[in-house]
A and B are shown apart, each in its own frame.
Chain A
Amino acid sequence: KQEVTQIPAALSVPEGENLVLNCSFTDSAIYNLQWFRQDPGKGLTSLLLIQSSQREQTSGRLNASLDKSSGRSTLYIAASQPGDSATYLCAVDGGSNYKLTFGKGTLLTVNP
């Protein structure tokens, strides 16, 4: 059974810092890995999707990488801003009936 782990559970950084969020998964047989952002009390917003054949995806200040063989993904946020404060979740798609397996998320706080 696929398990997805995100460490740390919470992270606090000063504004302007570059940071990395980690996601690990136990079964490397995946179709893709997705990163989401969730603001308090709201739904999830899709940030990046990396297909299994890809190594990384970029969107603005965000860069996500994928290493299937080691079961790891990272989300790099450049020049962090207070507006980046949110919970970041990763999810892997094992291709089985469209079911995603989610990590429990990393709560990011960017302090002004």
Chain B
Amino acid sequence: DVKVTQSSRYLVKRTGEKVFLECVQDMDHENMFWYRQDPGLGLRLIYFSYDVKMKEKGDIPEGYSVSREKKERFSLILESASTNQTSMYLCASSPQGFNSPLHFGNGTRLTVT
């Protein structure tokens, strides 16, 4: 079974801090994604990557950056955390090509105070 592991289940940070959310997948998938999920807004794509060192903006990239130095690891970075970035963050991966299901991690609940 594919395993997507997010390093933290819960995280509390202060406004202005630099925050790193880490995601690792163990199935050699080319594609990796970061979503955030908010009540009433559903899932929204922040960034995705289709290869090492490659990245593409999703629908809401403002305030975020990403890093993919190794195929199995995709990091989401909040350069200066703000309260409106309090959310559930979900990492996902999929193999290259169409018609491949997404595999999600268990999520990181981030609270910015």
Q: Chain A: residues with CB nearer than 8 A to chain B?
A: 31-32, 34, 36, 41-46, 49, 51, 89, 91, 93, 95, 97-100, 102-105
Q: A43-B90, A44-B90, A105-B42 are in contact. Are A100 and B102 (CB under 8 A)?
A: yes
Given known pairs A99-B58, A103-B42, the reply for A41 and B109 (CB within 8 Å) is yes
Q: How many residues on chain B are close to A (CB under 8 Å)?
A: 27
List B residues 42-72 near A (Cβ within 8 Å). 42-43, 45, 48, 50, 56, 58-59
Complex alpha-carbon distance, A60 and B50, angstroms: 32
Other A-B pairs, 15, CB within 8 Å; known A43-B90, A43-B92: A34-B101, A36-B102, A41-B109, A42-B107, A43-B107, A45-B104, A46-B102, A46-B103, A49-B101, A91-B43, A93-B99, A98-B33, A99-B59, A100-B45, A104-B41
Contact B104–A97 (Cβ < 8 Å): no
The docked-state distance in angstroms from the alpha carbon of A14 to that of B14 is 44
User: Smallest Cβ distance from B6 to chain A, in angstroms?
Assistant: 8
B102 pairs with A51, CB closer than 8 A: no
Q: Which of A89, A95, A102 gathers the greatest number of chain B CB atoms within 10 Å?
A: A102
CA of A93 to CA of B92, assembled, Å: 15
Residues of B within 8 A of A41 (CB): 107, 109
Kindly report which residue of chain B lies nearest to residue A97, judged by CB atoms: B56
Q: Which residues of B contact A98 (CB under 8 A)?
A: 31, 33, 48, 50, 94
Given contacts A97-B48, A98-B31, A102-B43, contact A43 B101 (CB under 8 A): no
CA gap between A31 and B97 in the complex, in Å = 11
* The one of B4, B42, B59 that contacts A104, using a Cβ cutoff of 8 Å: B42
Q: Please determine whether A31 and B99 come into contact, CB atoms closer than 8 angstroms.
A: yes
Q: Return the contact of A49 from the options B31, B42, B59, B99 (Cβ within 8 A).
A: B99
Point out the residues of chain B lying under 8 angstroms from A36, CB to CB: 102, 104
Q: Assuming the A-B contacts A44-B104, A98-B50, A99-B45, are A93 and B109 also in contact, with contact meaning beta carbons closer than 8 angstroms in the complex?
A: no
